[in-house]
Chains A and B, each alone.
Chain A
Amino acid sequence: MIKEPYYTEETLGSKAAEFIGELQEFRDKHSGN
């Protein structure tokens, strides 16, 4: 099992913001059937 601190208190805000942009882009690209 690989465990990693991909979120820390310092990086949480920036990483999550970057990630949600990616998720929204992914969702737009793959929405529908």
Chain B
Amino acid sequence: MQEFFLQPDSHAYIPSASAIIKPIKQLQDLFLALDVPVIYTKHGSDDANMLKWWGSVLRDEEPLSAINPLLINPKILIIHKTQYDAFYQTDLENKLKEKGITQLLIAGVMTHLCCETTARSAFIRGFESFLLTDATATYNESFHRASMLNLVHGFALPILCNEAVSSLEVADA
């Protein structure tokens, strides 16, 4: 998760985002301990449509582009993206297929923009996606709820972090 969404003076500040840092960290630590790949996306773009829509864009060289230091780990692969969709003009799909990955757990922000678009894109590429209900967040509950309701109908399954941990531990046993 980038500082862009965590710093109160950022226009993209998400008041609920800091609450999901701890569960994301716990989950990623377990994943990494079990050698399960963890991939972060880092958004940065001069995209004209993004600029037109939002009035400003986040560029890679800006300090707010940095990933939160609590979450940084050298074992994590970072994919640079320019759109909501983490698959769009990135090598994410190839990386996943190279590793034989068929299932994705999606965490982070924002539920109704990048997480949702990526979950939809993952579906049409043949991946099975799970949305971590307690490790995703967005600007307000209405957006979060609306996004989740749409996704669970046609694209992804909802899951809690502790359920994901149980599944991993069973698979690893």
Contact = CB atoms under 8 A, between A and B. Distances in A.
A28 B77 CA distance: 36
Contact of A26 (B19, B140, B149): B149
A30 B134 contact: no
A27 to B, nearest CB: 5
Interface string A2-28: 111111110111001101100110110
Q: How large is the interface on B (under 10, 10 to 19, 20 to 34, 35 or more residues)?
A: 20 to 34
Interface in B30-62: none
A6 B144 contact: yes
Interface of A: 1-9, 11-13, 16-17, 19-20, 23-24, 26-27, 30-31
B19 A8 contact: yes
Interface in B2-24: 13-16, 18-20, 22-23
B160 interface: yes
Contacts of A6: 15-16, 140-141, 144
